Amino acid sequence: MKFNNLTEQIKKIREENEFNEINLKYLRNQLMKMNQELNDPSNLSIQQESQLFINEISVISLEKPKFKKWIQNAITVAAGNGQGQNLNQLNRPGGIYIDKNKNIFIADSFNHRIIGWKCDAKEGQIIAGGNGEGDRMNQLNCPIDVIFDQQNHSIIIADYVNRRVIQWLNQKQQILIDNIDCWGLAIDKHRFLYISDLVKNEVRRWKMGEYYNEGIIVAGGNGQGNQFNQFNYPSFIFVDEEQSVYVSDRGNNRVMKWRKDEKEGTTVAGGNGQGRNRNQLSSPAGLVVDDLGHIYVADYWNHRIMRWCEGKEEGEIIVGGNGKGNQSNQLYGPMGLSFDDERNLYVADYFNRRIESMKSYPIIENVTLSNSNITNEIYPLIKSVRSDWTSSNTRLITFTEGLTNIILGIFDNRTPDDDSNALVVKIYGIQTELFINR
């Protein structure tokens, strides 16, 4: 409507041949104002004319949301073809790393190799190891975690049974740190390497390239125990922008956060004994923290992924929690955990020997509607629509349009081809999703 009004004003000024500096300044300001509005995902146009039986609609854009949800039925993006050593198979995958191209680096633990799996590929390729179980430089023995060094494009591996952290660069190997019962790995933005030690119950830090010393203890190091300055088998780790270290404390069924230079940590997830309640964890494994401080943890023996908001006493189940199994809505011992740059979730499904991906959909704004409708004049503008009923009463719609208006019609059980009882939401120039609750 605003575009139409502005267009009419321009036409009128042209007809009257009255363009001047004041007119141009006014038109420029109007265009800038509309551009700001269109860049705001909360700006949408809902035309309301008759009956509609949709109760709530969530409008979603590619702008960063405060919260996200994930489709519960996962897609297998790597392996899932049973146990084996073929390139389309895995054997108990551990840690995973996703690069900006959605390539997956997988610690294929019981195959003693690191597999690189390109996006949409049917099989992977061996990046490191794959020469049998052993301790030679070209061998690995139960690698449990892997990270990718963006600066020199090498991979760093926690070679668990060999008790060493080893770097592979263009098929050349270098032992960075040995005689360490390594498990979790992380690199921070200041290029420090962090390693958890299962036996010493600590996390140490080294400056990248300076491995001649013993490193610095940044968490734990006070013996095995359940006090706030202790761990009981620390496994996967995560380091945030402020160099706080998050640790999956497996034996204590909790996640601990150690701020930089602190002498003890705080419990940020679990810590209420082993169990399946929402305030409990059972052998937490893979760990990711987002930029809002939300903690995502692979709850290994509960076969689910939990999200904990810091300061909350309970977490929420975001994926799994439907018992152990190999169905698309089930996990069996989730181990590694990672996000891609679109916040889609990837899980190393340990006993199912596969990598699962759950598509995210960010919720930005809820608009409650009733007695709404729209005419059918906009349907020809729709380029692509995918409609999946995610449960008995919800529907996820994905649609994409170019720089023109993005418009979608939703009905109860019908499709946008039906002109009656439709709702249309208009958003300009962005890829968008709607999550509808009837």
In DSSP notation, 319-372 reads EE-S-B-SSTT-BSSEEEEEE-TT--EEEEETTTTEEEEE-EEEE-EEEE--S-
What is the pLDDT averaged over residues 391-410? 36
For residue 7, being part of any structural domain is answered with: no
Backbone angles phi, psi at 240, to 5 degrees: -90, -175
**pTM listed for this prediction:** 0.72
- Per-residue pLDDT at 310 exceeds 60: yes
113 lies in the same domain as 170: yes
56 lies in the same domain as 115: no
Residue with the bigger pLDDT between 420 and 254: it is: 254
Last-in-domain residue among 360, 379, 410: 360
DSSP string, 109-169: GGGTEEEEE-TT-SS-EEEEE-S-BS-STT-BSSEEEEEEETTTTEEEEEETTTTEEEEEE
For residue 392, being part of any structural domain is answered with: yes
DSSP single-letter state for residue 378: G
Compute the chain's Rg from CA coordinates: 26
> In the structure encoding, which two tokens stand for residue 265, read together?
């940590």
Q: What is the pLDDT of residues 112-153, one digit of tens each?
A: 999 999 999 999 999 999 999 999 999 999 999 999 999 999
Confidence band for 203, pLDDT divided at 50, 70 and 90: very high
384 lies in the same domain as 314: no
- Per-residue pLDDT at 22 exceeds 80: no
Q: What is the pLDDT of residues 174-201, one digit of tens each?
A: 999 999 999 999 999 999 999 999 999 9
- Per-residue pLDDT at 406 exceeds 60: no
Closest CA to 323 of 343, 352, 297, 294: 352
184 lies in the same domain as 307: yes
For residue 108, being part of any structural domain is answered with: yes
For residue 2, being part of any structural domain is answered with: no
For the ranges 151-160, 225-234, 258-267, 406-415, which has the lowest average pLDDT? 406-415
147 lies in the same domain as 253: yes
For the ranges 59-73, 229-243, 306-320, 331-345, which has the lowest average pLDDT? 59-73
For the ranges 55-64, 134-143, 332-341, 366-375, which has the lowest average pLDDT? 366-375
The answer to whether the CB of 355 falls within 8 A of the CB of 77 is yes
Last-in-domain residue among 294, 327, 360: 360
324 lies in the same domain as 398: no
Backbone angles phi, psi at 336, to 5 degrees: -75, 155
58 lies in the same domain as 93: no
> In the structure encoding, which two tokens stand for residue 372, read together?
């709404």
Closest CA to 375 of 425, 413, 420, 310: 420
- Per-residue pLDDT at 340 exceeds 60: yes
Domain ranges, residue 303: 70-360
Q: What is the pLDDT of residues 207-218, one digit of tens each?
A: 999 998 999 999
What is the pLDDT averaged over residues 42-60? 37
253 lies in the same domain as 402: no
pLDDT of residue 48: 35
DSSP string, 225-278: SSSTT-BSSEEEEEE-TT--EEEEEGGGTEEEEE-TT-SS-EEEEE-S-BSSST
335 lies in the same domain as 222: yes
If one counts the domains in the chain, the total is 2
pLDDT of residue 359: 84
For residue 13, being part of any structural domain is answered with: no
- Per-residue pLDDT at 221 exceeds 50: yes
Confidence band for 87, pLDDT divided at 50, 70 and 90: very high
142 lies in the same domain as 241: yes
pLDDT of residue 27: 62
pLDDT of residue 68: 64
244 lies in the same domain as 384: no
For residue 133, being part of any structural domain is answered with: yes
For residue 29, being part of any structural domain is answered with: no
Which residue's entry shows tokens 């294929």?
A: 108
- Per-residue pLDDT at 3 exceeds 90: no
pLDDT of residue 216: 97
Q: What is the pLDDT of residues 62-73, one digit of tens each?
A: 344 455 678 888
Mean pLDDT score across all residues of the chain: 78
- What CATH number is associated with residue 201? 2.120.10.30
For residue 340, being part of any structural domain is answered with: yes
Last-in-domain residue among 314, 340, 360: 360
pLDDT of residue 21: 53
CB neighbours of 229 closer than 8 A, spacing ≥ 6?
Answer: 220, 222, 263, 264, 265
254 lies in the same domain as 126: yes
